Amino acid sequence: MTTSTENEARIDPLWRSWEGAHGGHVAAVALAAVRAQFAGGAHPVRTLTTHFLAPAAAGPLHVSGTAPASGRRSAACVFSGHQDGLPVVVGSALFGSGRSGTPYDGQPAPDVPGPEACRAVRLPGRLAPFARQLEIRPATSDLPPADGDRAELLAWVRFTDGRVLDAGAVVTLTDVLPPALYAVWRSPRPVPSAELTVHFTDALDEDVPEGWTLVRIRTDHAGARWVVDDSAVWAADGRLLALGRQSRVVRGELS
């Protein structure tokens, strides 16, 4: 049976990006708004896809959703978020219970110095105001803008408020590093997210403590002012938490 509902969430003004709210934060807010309604708290989230139709502003986000399929082991949800009567996001979420099976890890955490051995950096306030809610310590020598030859950034990241690394926090983390092209560009320019899909691992079926995560972002392709970025988030103990892939749009250079 198809069910539908609507509730009100809030976009935190502290998570402001260069144009509206930070995409990962908006996706996490939408997930929180639909999760209890359609998964009943019984199933972990497995996949979240969010399309960003317009910049989201701080304040209320009216999220409505429909669950076209729900069963004992899985539930699917299609949702949309509106502000002032206009759509800003649409997306879908898949929830599913776990089963025993043979594990496989094809994305081991990179072998890099721990966060205590890395120096913290501050992202430019005009470009990423939301970064004040994070502590970021690059794990390699690639610092944006790096003018390098590989579009990849790798850093230790943790929330300054010490929040638990639940699914919402992990969604946000897949999008917190600068666009990977900043590692090869000489100067930054806006590259907002148009779509973000996050696949969660079974590590989030367990209790994951707050603290450091290792986050990597890299560009797989760029052309015609469109970019495909891949990201990965590992817990401090090396467990893979999530994989993300997003489509981004390259805007003009910042003034």
Residue 35: the pLDDT is: 86
- Please list the ranges in the chain whose pLDDT falls under 50: 1, 254-255
Cα dihedral across residues 28, 31, 36, 37: positive or negative? positive
Tens-digit pLDDT profile for residues 157-168: 999 999 999 999
The residues near 73 (Cβ < 8 Å, ≥ 6 apart) are 43, 96, 97
Q: How many CB atoms lie within 10 A of CB 67?
A: 21
CA 27 to chain centre: 7
Residue 255: the pLDDT is: 36
CB 114 within 8 A of CB 88: no
Q: Which of 133, 113, 128 is nearest to 192 (CA)?
A: 128
Strand 45-52 with 86-96, pairing: antiparallel
Residue 72: the pLDDT is: 67
Structural tokens at position 195: 């779509």
Structural tokens at position 218: 């890299």
Q: Which of 114, 119, 142, 120 is nearest to 219 (CA)?
A: 142
Q: Which of 155, 147, 225 is nearest to 183 (CA)?
A: 147
DSSP state string for the chain: --EEEEEEEEE-GGGB-SSSB-HHHHHHHHHHHHHHHHHTTTS-EEEEEEEE-SPPPSEEEEEEEEEEEE-SSEEEEEEEEEETTEEEEEEEEEEE---------SSPPP----GGGS--B---TTT-GGGGGEEEEESSS--SS---SS-EEEEEEEETT-----HHHHHHHTT-SPPGGGGT-SS-----EEEEEEEE-GGGGS---SS-EEEEEEEEEEETTEEEEEEEEEETTS-EEEEEEEEEE--PPP-
Residue 254: the pLDDT is: 43
